């Protein structure tokens, strides 16, 4: 799958996130990268930053949080385009949840692991 098509799928996954939640997201960018950091070849996505629940009165003047969606690992674990669509959606929701302060244990309990 081309990078352009993959980026479209990330955009489509974002379109499915309720407007109310997207409106609450603050100082965060979503990026598509081909590969995760070295030594993390199985990583499908990553949230880097300060979750909304951790931001206090002194949170200001910081660079945006970053959500990375990694194309090649997702493509490796998927058998077909439909699987890619589903996995991209799950990964996008998973990483956005981290922005809201939801940890991996809770996401797995909710079925978004």
Architecture field, domain 3-110: 2-Layer Sandwich (3.30)
Q: Give the CA dihedral 60, 32, 68, 20, nearest 10 degrees.
A: 60
pLDDT tens per residue, range 18-65: 899 888 888 999 999 999 999 998 999 999 999 888 888 888 888 999
pLDDT in tens, 41-54: 899 999 999 988 88
Structure tokens at 70: 């990694």
d(CA 9, CA 25) in angstroms, rounded, equals: 20
SS3 46: strand
pTM: 0.89
């Amino acid at each position: 799958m081309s990078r352009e098509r993959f980026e479209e799928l990330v955009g489509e996954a974002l379109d499915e996130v309720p407007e109310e939640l997207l409106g609450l997201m603050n100082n965060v960018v979503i990026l598509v990268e081909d590969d995760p950091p070295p030594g993390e070849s199985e990583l499908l996505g990553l949230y880097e930053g300060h979750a909304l629940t951790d931001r206090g009165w002194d949170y200001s003047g910081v660079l945006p949080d970053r959500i990375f969606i990694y194309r090649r690992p997702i493509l490796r674990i998927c058998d077909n385009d439909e699987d890619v669509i589903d996995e991209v959606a799950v990964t996008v929701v998973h990483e956005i949840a981290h922005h809201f302060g939801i940890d991996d244990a809770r996401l797995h309990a909710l079925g978004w692991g």
